[in-house]
Structure 1
């Protein structure tokens, strides 16, 4: 109980008198409440107006995404589950490989990745391994990176995505070793990267994967993985800190490789999402949002070549020829047809984009000696594109080099194209060849394709164009240097 002195120090309050402080507080609060109400009303009005203009996107941006799952049958993999967020533009595509023991965690991974804006494709690694075991004995090894590329393309076509994403491969348990092996096998510009959760360098499979030298058996149905120096795309190993030393001892430090510590399920999933989103950006577009790769010349610049890849992307013959030319002093701009033509283009748009590349990189490298090189799909489009190029660009082109020219042209990468068939909208090439500058055109072809009437290089419509026959088929038996030498012979400065 308080004393009289205490009582005297207490504030005396007369309920019969108006509280002046309360009145002042009320006068202050009224404007604040009014401002708050007006702010809410303006926000709702803006959202309503945005929804009228943009449909449901304004509302959906504020609402949790709706997650959908569909099942797609894909060659080599059978049924795969595809999880994505509706009404959201995808940020990338992830392929998840897991055994039955990790199936629950893998499904939770897929849901979390979909909520983060990624398309998550899951398959049963044990079922795939069983299918691999049925391969004929004459198949000495398994090559999986191209199968994963085909899977990614099939899913993205099925979903109607307007741009192509390099797949990021994610594996748990045995699937982690599979992810590393797939990455190690892949040519450049095939995968966005790989992530292993609980990675061990032991691959359980019926026979070795295709490596040179072959993988060595490790007992109990396992093969021992070998470190791949400077892998073609990023690698991330997610595991508890106690596994850092052994993991880093295997993966080394060459290239874009990293150990990501995570101690529990929540931390593992958080690390997975963060790294999958980041790796999903692999192959982001260069100048003018076009998917280009630049190979800088060695020594003084002697010219510039824009190389339009085949429909498999910028990764094999196109890249190898570009590297060969760069050694001769040619600046190379490689246009990835897989991603550039994933959505249909018309010749005028393609010509405008090529002109932009020539103008931009010609100025950067200080040259106006140009070459246009196309391989397969990239050569098939050229008769329609050439007339649409600005005259200032055409006048600077010393050679139009067509490698493995086909018999039909498409302006969109199609499933039919991957299996060597013409699509419904393809056009015969022979009647279009006269549109090329035949005195500056060379057509490089494999003799096997000529024997099978699968090339227009031998068509009479090519007139005075240079024809270069090389041994082999569509890829010239892998001897890309001869094709590069033929291109250089037309582009090199006159002594």
Structure 2
């Protein structure tokens, strides 16, 4: 993936128990950055040939590789931007997981929270997006992601909401709906999450947001919430809403927008939410958008340029949501200097480069390196009023 992708596509690559052999019956795709392989004797696999350079850094943790460990180590060391680490042979992932987590923390602190989601509501993959600084709004938002998981759009929109005083809980729909769910089951989990964070974050009002897959399932889920929670809902937001909802992830959803057998119509569930303020945002280039067909039942429809990703105008999406909330006077507190990110302040010590020089595209640590001490300046000639003190020789030991 690193070799054949565009140079600026990946921040880094991480492998565990790498072997330079692939069980492929067909040859590798040819590209500008070719990865070549030689057929082994059985003609059922490829032995990868080393490349001199990668477009970004590749971190490799070797715990229990299924191939010749010495051969794999030689392959890794032959690549300039590869960083290898031999991990103690302990039981299962306990040997390499702490080191991988430390590496993720250094590369991007947000990755760790995706690998290990907040577990305050057991069984639901949630990510907290708190307000970074300044006054908060009285509402709490929960956003159900699309079937791509807690991805760029979800992170960008919730980050904008948080910057404007609206703390948000992110719900990873890909992980949660990896197995089939029932609407009643999802409603119970959403109820647990809402009650927990309403109390924990001391909020009284709720904003519910769904994107794509998450938007499709949201109406049926809200209709199954207890009335005591529905009364607290300030706004419901649908982003890229479709005509049918599926309560289980299926790979076909990435290929086709056509509803499958068993998918549930969305409009009847939206109609049941008539007592709630509903906002439906859609891209003008979407062919199957349901939003324009909901204006007759009191839904606020708001078109945006672009397709299902709104031309990546994520601040614009957040602004349209915030515009539907009551105006509040927020006085921003002075922003303090950012605290240092917890975790390693430089590359984890177990990752040593294969080359003495640092590669140009290797991820850089967030903290500034300590500058070497500057040589002492020669003493200035003594002034008449302030004679300079002669440097004292070191005391013999």
TM-score by length of 1: 0.49
Paired residue for 1:372, among 208, 212, 227? Answer: 208
Distance 1:260-1:141 versus aligned 2 partners, 3 A rule: closer
Once the two structures are TM-superposed, the CA of residue 403 in structure 1 deviates from its matched residue by: 0.1
Kindly indicate whether the alpha-carbon contact (under 8 Å) linking 1:305 and 1:330 is maintained by their aligned counterparts in 2. yes
Which residue of structure 2 lines up, in the alignment, with residue 384 of structure 1?
A: 220
Separation (CA, whole Å) in 1 of partners of 2:260 and 2:85: 45
1:132 is paired with a residue whose SS is coil
Tell me whether 1:324 sits opposite 2:168 in the alignment: no
Paired residue for 2:116, among 283, 286, 300? Answer: 283
2:29 is paired with a residue whose SS is helix
Kindly indicate whether the alpha-carbon contact (under 8 Å) linking 1:417 and 1:423 is maintained by their aligned counterparts in 2. no
Kindly indicate whether the alpha-carbon contact (under 8 Å) linking 2:242 and 2:266 is maintained by their aligned counterparts in 1. yes
Q: Deviations over 1:25-72 (max 9, x none)?
A: xxxxxxxxxxxxxxxxxxxxxxxxxxxxxxxxxxxxxxxxxxxxxxxx
Q: Which moved more, 1:375-384 or 1:272-281?
A: 272-281
Q: CA RMSD in A?
A: 3.7
Kindly indicate whether the alpha-carbon contact (under 8 Å) linking 2:16 and 2:60 is maintained by their aligned counterparts in 1. no
Paired residue for 2:28, among 126, 131, 135? Answer: 131
Q: Deviations over 1:81-121 (max 9, x none)?
A: xxxxxxxxxxxxx9876334xxxxxxxxxxxxxxxxxxxxx
**Match runs of 1:433-472 below 5 Å:** 433-437=270-274, 440-449=277-286, 452=287, 454-460=288-294, 463-472=297-306
TM-score by length of 2: 0.60
Separation (CA, whole Å) in 2 of partners of 1:141 and 1:486: 43
Once the two structures are TM-superposed, the CA of residue 408 in structure 1 deviates from its matched residue by: 0.8
2:188 is paired with a residue whose SS is helix
Separation (CA, whole Å) in 2 of partners of 1:468 and 1:310: 19
Separation (CA, whole Å) in 1 of partners of 2:273 and 2:29: 47
Once the two structures are TM-superposed, the CA of residue 455 in structure 1 deviates from its matched residue by: 1.1
Which residue of structure 2 lines up, in the alignment, with residue 313 of structure 1?
A: 149
Which residue of structure 2 lines up, in the alignment, with residue 301 of structure 1?
A: 136
2:291 is paired with a residue whose SS is coil
Separation (CA, whole Å) in 1 of partners of 2:148 and 2:297: 30
Distance 1:431-1:271 versus aligned 2 partners, 3 A rule: closer
Which residue of structure 1 lines up, in the alignment, with residue 176 of structure 2?
A: 340
Alignment gaps of 5+ in structure 2:
5-14, 35-46, 64-68, 102-111, 330-397
Q: Which has the higher helix share?
A: 1
Paired residue for 1:486, among 310, 320, 330? Answer: 320
Separation (CA, whole Å) in 1 of partners of 2:81 and 2:54: 11
Q: Deviations over 1:316-346 (max 9, x none)?
A: 2111111111111211111111111112222
Which residue of structure 2 lines up, in the alignment, with residue 393 of structure 1?
A: 229
Alignment gaps of 5+ in structure 1:
1-75, 77-93, 101-122, 143-172, 176-202, 205-221, 229-234, 252-257
Kindly indicate whether the alpha-carbon contact (under 8 Å) linking 2:223 and 2:269 is maintained by their aligned counterparts in 1. no
**Match runs of 1:51-130 below 5 Å:** 98-100=19-21, 123-124=22-23, 130=27
Kindly indicate whether the alpha-carbon contact (under 8 Å) linking 1:371 and 1:491 is maintained by their aligned counterparts in 2. no
Q: Which has the higher strand share?
A: 1
Aligned length: 276
Once the two structures are TM-superposed, the CA of residue 444 in structure 1 deviates from its matched residue by: 0.4
Paired residue for 2:267, among 430, 436, 452? Answer: 430
Tell me whether 1:358 sits opposite 2:194 in the alignment: yes
Distance 1:489-1:309 versus aligned 2 partners, 3 A rule: same
Once the two structures are TM-superposed, the CA of residue 236 in structure 1 deviates from its matched residue by: 5.3
Once the two structures are TM-superposed, the CA of residue 475 in structure 1 deviates from its matched residue by: 0.7
Q: Which moved more, 1:294-303 or 1:318-327?
A: 294-303
Distance 1:439-1:352 versus aligned 2 partners, 3 A rule: closer
Once the two structures are TM-superposed, the CA of residue 307 in structure 1 deviates from its matched residue by: 0.3
Q: Which protein is bigger by CA-based radius of gyration?
A: 1
Which residue of structure 2 lines up, in the alignment, with residue 58 of structure 1?
A: none
Separation (CA, whole Å) in 2 of partners of 1:351 and 1:272: 35
Bigger relative contact order (CA 8 A; separation at least 6): 2
Tell me whether 1:226 sits opposite 2:226 in the alignment: no
